[in-house]
Structure 1
Amino acid sequence: MYVFCLIRKKYYLLTKEELVRQKIIYYLIKNRGYNVHEIYVEFHSTFYNIKNRIDILVLKKKRPFIMVECKSPEVKISSKSFDQIMKYYLRFKSQYLVLTNGIKNIIFEFKNNGIEFLKKIPKNKKRLLTKLN
């Protein structure tokens, strides 16, 4: 079975991890107000000669805003998952990080005085204001 990715504009094999990825993409667009053009999927990057692949990267004003690391539902969110997304953070310095396996979501924001854990991914305020006008 395959699923069509709104961001990459093609069909992908519907693995358990891909299902989690597509649910987050749908949530970002339909529930949080992000634009398809702000979202990148499987964003490739090299940092200190190490290749990385960020599952989902949301840009605001061409800067990293949200990074999402997706795992399959049977994979527990662990310190290894946290270490993986922190490597990406060191490179891109996004404001929000999300770890998810589709069952458990850990969402946190970096602030001047540390990290704050959130219950939901923040809404795209600019897009929501545009919709209201």
Structure 2
Amino acid sequence: MYVFCLIRKKYYLLTKEEFVRQQIIYYLIKNRGYPVNEIYVEFHYAFSNMKTRLDIIVIKNNRPFIIVECKSPEGNISYKYFDQIMKYYLRFKSQYLVITNGMKNIIFEMKTSGIELLKKIPTNN
């Protein structure tokens, strides 16, 4: 089974992680008001001589705004995923970080005073 990605404009095999990715993309667009042209999926970049990719990044006003790390629904969200997304933060300095397995979302707002946990991804203002 395949699913059409609104961002990448083509069909992808519907794996468990791809299902979570498409679910959060839909939520960002339909429920939080982010336009398609601000959302990037499987964003490739090099960091410390290693090539890697972000599952989802939202760019607002030409700056990273939200980074989303998607995991399979069967997996528990653990500290290793927090370490992973913090590495992305060190590179991109986005205001918000999200780790999701489709069942549970952990949302962080990065502030100068520290990290604040949020209940929802902020809306596009």
RMSD, aligned CA: 0.5
Structure 1 Cα separation of the partners of residues 57 and 65 of structure 2 = 8
Structure 1 Cα separation of the partners of residues 17 and 38 of structure 2 = 21
Which amino acid in the other structure matches residue 67 of structure 1? Answer: I
Any residues of structure 2 matched to 1:48-127 within 5 Å, and which? 48-125=48-125
Query: Where does structure 2 lack aligned partners over 5 or more consecutive residues?
Result: none
Structure 2 Cα separation of the partners of residues 118 and 5 of structure 1 = 27
Could you list the runs of 4 or more consecutive aligned residues of structure 1 that deviate by over 2 angstroms after TM superposition?
A: none
TM-score, normalization: structure 1?
0.93
What is the SS of the residue equivalent to 1:52? strand
By percentage of residues, which structure has more helix? 1
What is the SS of the residue equivalent to 1:75? coil
What is the SS of the residue equivalent to 2:34? coil
TM-score, normalization: structure 2?
0.99
Shift of residue 113 of structure 1? 0.3
Structure 2 Cα separation of the partners of residues 26 and 6 of structure 1 = 9
Between structure 1 and structure 2, the one with the greater Rg is: 1
Structure 2 Cα separation of the partners of residues 115 and 84 of structure 1 = 16
Query: Where does structure 1 lack aligned partners over 5 or more consecutive residues?
Result: 126-133
Provide the residue aligned with 2:33 in structure 1.
33
